[in-house]
Amino acid sequence: MKVLMFTWEFPPFISGGLGMACYGMVQSLLKIGIKVDLVLPTRDLVYFPLSIPEDVDNLPAVFIEPKKHKEYSSISFGSVKERLDYIGITKHPESYIQLGEIKKFFRLSKSYESSEQVHWTDSDKLLDEALINLTGEEDLIRKVQEYTLRAQKVASTLKYDIVHAHDWLCYPAGMIARKVSGKPLVVHIHATEFDRSGGPGDERIHNIEYAGMMFADRVIAVSQYTAQMIMSRYIIDSGNIRIVHNAFSVKEDMNDTKQRIFKGPTILFLGRITLQKGPDYFLEVAEKVLFKYPHARFIVAGTGDMGRMLLHRSAQLRLKNRFLFTGFLNRKQVERILLAADVYVMPSVSEPFGIAPLEAMAYGVTSIISKQSGVAEVVNNVFKIDFWDTDRMAETIGYLIENPELCKKMGHDSKEEVNHILWDAAADKIRDVYIHVLEDFLATNKA
C-alpha cells in the first residue's frame, strides 16, 4: 500500500507538535510496510518517496521536473542538512517561500475550471468552497495557495492508493489530489481553528476545515476531545470519524540524565507563545508561586505572537530574573532545557492532543497538564488541572517544591508510562482506517 501524504511540518522542518507527530507516525507506518510519498512546503517542487523506516531521517527526494532532478542527482552533498538546504526545507516553517516567488492564485482556479466537468456534484461544491476561501494576501495564505497549486501536479504524476492530508493547510491539496486521482482521502485533525484562535478565529479557515472534513472519505481525530469538537462545531457525521491518539517515539540514544542549569526549582513552559497554549496563565501561576517560593525559576521556551506581551508583563510584575525567555530553540536545545527542568506545565486553553507533555514525561519531568487537552485522555502519572485554575496549579507546584522526592518519583513514573505510548500502536490503527476506507471505496465504485 502506498500513501500520498501532505503535511506542513516534518523534521528537521518543524515548529510544533505536528511535525513530531508526522515523524513518529510515518516511521511506524513504514515499519509495517506502508510506503509514503511525502509532500512538504519545500522551496523547490519535490516529493520524498519513503519506503523504509530509516528514510524518515534521510528524506530521499525527487524533483518533479526531470531536468532539475538530473541536476540534483549529480550533486554529492556532504550531509543530509546540506542536501535539505539545497531543496530548501531546513529553515523554520513559514519562512522558506519568498513572497516574490509566488505566482498569482487565479491560475489554480482557472486550471480547475478548464478541467473536464460534466456536472456540478456536491463534492465539487465542497472543493470550490475550499478554494474560494483560500484567498487573501497574507503570507501564509499565499504559501498555502502555492502548495495547493503544486498538489495538482504531484497528484497527477505519482501513483498511490490513498491520500492523507494533515490539518487545514493541507486540506485543499488533499482535496485536489482526490479530485485528480480518484483515490480516497483521509484528513487528519491535529487542531482546528477553534483550538488555535481561542475565539471565533478566521472564517476562511473554518470554511476550509469544514469543506475538507466533509469532502474526505474518513476523518482521523487525535483525541476524543477533538472528535467531540468536530462533531459539535463542524457537525461532522460521527460515523466518519476515527480516533487515533498520538504517541511518542522514544529515541534509543536518548540522554535522560538530569543536567540542572539552576540550583532552585525550575518550572518550564515549552511551546508556541500563543493564546491557545495559555502562556498568560503560566505567568499568573509564576507570580503566585514566586510570591511564596522566591527561589523558583520559570522558563518560557518558544516563540509566538504573545511573546512581547508576556515579556513586558513579566517585567511589570517585577519578577526580577525569575521569569526567563529562551527564544526559539532547536531540537538539541529543547532536550537541554527539558533536562534542566523539574516541572513542566502545559496550561493550554484548548489542546486537541498536545504531544509536548509526552516528551517532557520521556525526560522524567513531572508534568502539569490542562484538562482541556487530548493527551489527558491517555496519561495517568501527571497532574490534570483546568487551565484557568491558576490557584490550583500554583498550589500543586508549591507542593512539588516542598516535596522534591515525590516530584522525582512522579517524573520517574511518568517516564515509565510514556515508554508504553507507542507510535506502532497508532500506526496499526491508521492502517485499519486505510483498509476500511479502501474497502468502502472499492465497494462504492463497483456499485
Partner 1 sequence: MLNIVFYFQVHQPYRLRHFNVLDVGRNSGYFDDASNRSIMQKVAAKCYLPTNQLLLELIKKHKGSFKIAYSITGTAIEQFKQYSPEVLDSFKQLVDTGCVELIGETYYHSLSFLYDTNEFLEQVYMHRALIKKEFGYDTTTFRNTELIYQDTLSDVIYEIEGFKTIITEGVDRVLDWRSPLYAYKNYSKSLNLLLKYYQLSDDIAFRFSNRDWPEFPLTVPKFVRWIDHLTLSENQNRNQFLNLFMDYETFGEHQWAETGIFDFIKHLPAEVLKRDNLGFITPCETSEYANYQQEGISFKEAVSWADAERDLSAWLENDMQKNAIETLYDLLEKAKQKGDAEIISQLRLLTTSDHFYYMCTKYFQDGDVHKYFSPYDSPDQAYIYFINVMADIEERLL
Provide the binding-site residues for partner 1, judged by CB under 8 A.
260-264, 297, 299, 301, 307-308, 311-312, 314-316, 318-322, 324-327, 329, 333, 336-337
| In 208-346, beta strands by DSSP E | 218-221, 241-243, 266-270, 297-301, 323-327, 343-346
- Report the candidate in 249, 192, 189 with the shortest Cα–Cα distance to residue 220: 189
Q: Which is nearer to partner 1, 104 or 312 (CB)?
A: 312
Least distance from C-beta 324 to partner 1, angstroms?
5
Q: Which is nearer to partner 1, 315 or 442 (CB)?
A: 315
- Report the candidate in 105, 89, 106 with the shortest Cα–Cα distance to residue 97: 89
Least distance from C-beta 338 to partner 1, angstroms?
11
CB within 8 A of 192, min separation 6: which ones?
168, 209, 226, 229, 230, 233, 234, 352
Least distance from C-beta 362 to partner 1, angstroms?
19
Least distance from C-beta 399 to partner 1, angstroms?
23
Q: Which is nearer to partner 1, 77 or 328 (CB)?
A: 328
Distance CA(99)–CA(189), nearest Å, equals: 28
Q: Which is nearer to partner 1, 214 or 299 (CB)?
A: 299
CB within 8 A of 368, min separation 6: which ones?
343, 344, 345, 346, 347, 382, 383, 385, 393, 396, 397
- Report the candidate in 347, 322, 358, 379 with the shortest Cα–Cα distance to residue 272: 347
Distance CA(50)–CA(104), nearest Å, equals: 31
Q: Which is nearer to partner 1, 85 or 280 (CB)?
A: 280
Cis peptide before 12 (omega within 30 of 0): yes
Q: Which is nearer to partner 1, 217 or 284 (CB)?
A: 284
Least distance from C-beta 56 to partner 1, angstroms?
27
Least distance from C-beta 304 to partner 1, angstroms?
13
| In 79-178, beta strands by DSSP E | 162-166
Q: Which is nearer to partner 1, 312 or 420 (CB)?
A: 312
Least distance from C-beta 81 to partner 1, angstroms?
21
Relative to beta strand 162-166, strand 35-39 is: unpaired
Distance CA(386)–CA(110), nearest Å, equals: 49
